[in-house]
Chains A and B, each alone.
Chain A
Amino acid sequence: MAKHETPLLDQLESGPWPSFVSDLKWEAEVRAKNEKGIDYQIPVDVCDDLLGLLELSYKHGRTHWKHGGIVGVFGYGGGIIGRYCDQPDAFPGVAAFHTVRVAQPSGKYYTTKFLTQLMDLWDLRGSGLTNMHGSTGDIILLGTTTPQLEEFFYELTHEMGQDLGGSGSNLRTPADCLGTSRCEFACYDTNDLCYNLTMEYQDELHRPAFPYKFKFKFDGCPNGCVASIARSDISFIGTWKDAIQVDAAEVQAYVDGQTPSNGGAHSGRDWGPFDIVKEVVDLCPSECMKYEGGKLSIDDRECVRCMHCINTMPKALHIGKETGCSMLVGAKAPIVDGAQMGSLLVPFVEVNKEDDYQAIKDVIELIWDYWMEEGKNRERLGELMLRQGFKTLIEKCELDPVPQNVQHPRTNPYIFWKEEEVEGGWDRDINEYRKHHNR
């Protein structure tokens, strides 16, 4: 018997898509029965009360969660988000319901052993409810009480060898696509770069010292499966400098209809026979391809690496061999001054595991030096760039501006010339001037 009536939420149990309501009810029941004999450290009826509180939100059309309080674990300024409901008397099980962010492994691969151990810990010390995963990438453990935080953290680190993720004005837990681990499009090992930078910058991740949040995301290729260009202060997108590798025999297999185009992605509709000219050559955004006399040729110097031809014929075309990544900076959601996408700061940088990714770290640290010096409270890097100009950031990163940085050059001549750029400097003698120019 459910603790609270939930007539509105009950309507979200039907239909084919996995019902979170059914799942919450299931967990409520599992806790109530407690067949494993767990010594639950937070209220047993936490899931019941969450359902009850959510039903109330559905009834009111308003949230019943208050601002987070300042809770956390000793020595860290992030990783835990305090959460209290505004109806604690009616729903005591979720009176305090703090979020714990656990840093996810690169590529989000898991063993069942790890997940089971984490769930054992979370059933004991929390609600048993999770988000797999939060938007930034962390494993989100939803709902525990303040006294359990240190206990949970102690067991997480000691027994599992696993750490919390980031929150607040710090480096947020970096996230990546699965990269070379299982994708032929990946231009670099996203899993390793993500892991390496996460470890290098543990201090920045756990102890807020920044003006605001800062996000790294790693896309192995310009398809952008983790959306780094839309939502990370520094977006690392794999790319290459040399020629697309072409297997002529496999191209022919696509032309002959032996291999399904686009990796079989269009199998749900009859689009007619594959037409390499119409579907590949004519859709190339830089018009750098030709198909003549049964032969596909690519003017690689003119290629902008949009991935369309490679996506469409993955068995025949392969990314180049001289791979690395582009770094784009300043993406953010609309709060406060409107949404921004990443702007191309570094067109190409080597992703070199051998030297511990030094070239990349050099740029990151110059960006941080600048942002920490000039950024205002709660000012994202993208907003600072708008305020002080992309040119300033390029300069602070000790880079030479290149046409790749911009879509087109400026359309106004309001150039902030520096004194040292102008012959003779700015100090002039008005009396000397007046010798030749009467008042």
Chain B
Amino acid sequence: MAFVSSGYNPDKPMENRVTDIGPIKYDNFYPPVIAKNKGQWKYHEILEPGVLVHVAASGDKVYTVRVGAARLMSSSLIREACEIADKHCDGYLRFTTRNNIEFMVDDEAKVKPLKDELSSRKFTGGSFKFPIGGTGAGISNIVHTQGWIHCHTPASDASGTVKATMDEVFADFQDHRMPAKLRISMACCLNMCGAVHCSDIAILGYHRKPPLLDHEYLDKMCEVPLAVASCPTAAIKPAKHELPDGTKVNSVAVKNEKCMFCGNCYTMCPSMPLSDTEGDGIVLMAGGKVSNRISAPKFSKVVVGFIPNEVPRWPSMVDAIKNMIEKYSEGARKYERFGDWTDRIGWERFFDICELPFTHHLVDDFRDQAYNTWRQSTQFKF
């Protein structure tokens, strides 16, 4: 390959430099029906799973067909989405916060050809490229993080756990049988690039072994004080270490019993890796939400302390998720989110119903906020 210059001159980096221009203004991308009726929408209806209509004061309607997507996508797939949008949607499309793609048309007659086109496209492996769904009281797409595909701190893979889970709950991506919407999220470490801590069901990658210490390189690669300061439990202290050849080097020592495996030290110091085949795996959390509907937003709670990384399809994790979804679906009232259901029946009953073991790992012992999770009442169920 020959180097293709953009016109950039490395000797004069400031020559003709364009900076601080931000994103292109949103209204350049509005489909005409959106531009015309912005701020004038009267109501919407979900005509069937994955298909919405929004009706404006002018009488105009916009029909949206929502499709799921792996957020990791190739330029070829994006081009194919563009090709469909060119053919059916006058060259416009949008993405949602939950990695779905939305194709919009301004006439009901255009919906069926669009749907047929989207449903017909498949990858060579057999999976849908553009599965229609993700609306209403069903299971929408999973928001997630990078995982092993592109990150240095994960305790699990993101794309794989999401694919494994969505394959198994796919019927509910295309259905509205849940008591309320159910949102699943995945974060591959507790940096939580996705806001999984407020999801109906959260899949979280977690380490269980303290950092390895690469003494020979630690002081060369890291600022020891930053590594020490990074630890939320003060488990790390500066220490001299004698290498096998007798050389004394500056390094750190870790009080392993104080480590809660957050990985914050590794973020500050590459010579303290945590990842480990047996140590790493999945924590499942449940009952969180961000909506203010009926009840206030709430955090997800840890309901399964650890599930190993069973590649490539994480069957124990997927089974546990499916089981919780079914029990919720059977037990919750209409409009009741997962966490509203558990609040009503009580967490002791939740563990009963879901036949999940309650272990010491689930009793909070981190900082002052732990107190607020203990029961200060004689009201409980046997």
Interface of A toward B, CB cutoff 8 Å: 8-9, 11-27, 30, 39-41, 44, 47, 50, 54, 57-68, 74-76, 83, 97, 99, 103-116, 119, 122-124, 128-137, 142-143, 147, 150-155, 157-158, 160-163, 173, 175, 177-178, 180-184, 189, 191-192, 195, 198-199, 202-203, 205-206, 222-231, 260, 262-269, 271, 279, 283, 285, 305-308, 311-312, 314-315, 318, 333-339, 341, 377-378
Contacts and interface: CB of A to CB of B under 8 A. Distances in A.
Contacts of A231: 195
A105 B151 contact: no
A347 B287 CA distance: 26
B266 to A, nearest CB: 8
B175 A25 contact: no
B339 to A, nearest CB: 13
A133 B95 contact: yes
A105 B79 contact: no
B152 A63 contact: yes
A63 B154 contact: yes
B74 to A, nearest CB: 4
Given A16-B131, A131-B72, A184-B43, A339 B78 contact: no
Given A65-B150, A265-B176, A314-B43, A109 B75 contact: no
A83 B21 contact: no
B76 A26 contact: yes
A37 B44 CA distance: 46
A62 B293 CA distance: 40
B360 to A, nearest CB: 19
Contacts of B29: 105, 107, 109-111, 114
A129 B70 contact: no
Contacts of A116: 79, 82
A17 B48 contact: no
Nearest to A23: B74
Given A20-B70, A64-B148, A173-B23, 18 more contacts: A13-B127, A17-B170, A62-B280, A67-B152, A99-B150, A111-B91, A128-B74, A128-B75, A135-B144, A157-B19, A177-B97, A224-B290, A265-B136, A266-B137, A283-B294, A306-B294, A308-B293, A334-B192
Contact of B312 (A11, A26, A110, A142): A11
Interface stretch (B5-13, B108-116, B241-249): B5-13
Contacts of B293: 222-223, 306-308, 311
B208 interface: no
Interface stretch (B269-277, B341-349, B350-358): B269-277
Interface of B: 1-8, 10, 13-14, 16-31, 34, 38-39, 41-49, 54, 62, 64, 68-79, 81-83, 85-86, 91-97, 99, 101, 123-131, 135-138, 143-154, 157, 159-160, 162-164, 166-167, 170, 173, 175-178, 181, 187, 190-195, 197-198, 229-230, 232, 262, 264, 270, 275-278, 280, 290-295, 297, 299, 309, 311-313, 334-335, 366-367, 369
Contacts of B94: 107-110, 178
B270 A110 contact: no
Contacts of B99: 132-133
Contacts of B19: 75-76, 157, 163, 206
A14 B127 contact: yes
Nearest to A226: B97
A77 to B, nearest CB: 12
A283 B1 contact: no
Contact of B143 (A50, A135, A181): A135
Contacts, number: 447
Considering residues B72, B81, B181, which has the most beta carbons from chain A within 10 angstroms of its beta carbon? B72
A230 B75 contact: no
A136 B275 CA distance: 25
Contacts of B294: 283, 285, 306, 308
B274 to A, nearest CB: 10
Contacts of B70: 17-20, 23
B131 A61 contact: no
7 interchain residue pairs of minimum CB distance: A13-B125, A265-B136, A15-B167, A268-B176, A333-B192, A22-B123, A268-B177
Contacts of B159: 20
A50 B157 CA distance: 14
B33 to A, nearest CB: 9
B2 A39 contact: yes
Contacts of B95: 108, 110, 132-133
Contacts of A308: 293-294, 335
Contacts of B135: 265
Contacts of B127: 13-19, 22
Contact of A195 (B23, B193, B299): B23
B176 A269 contact: yes
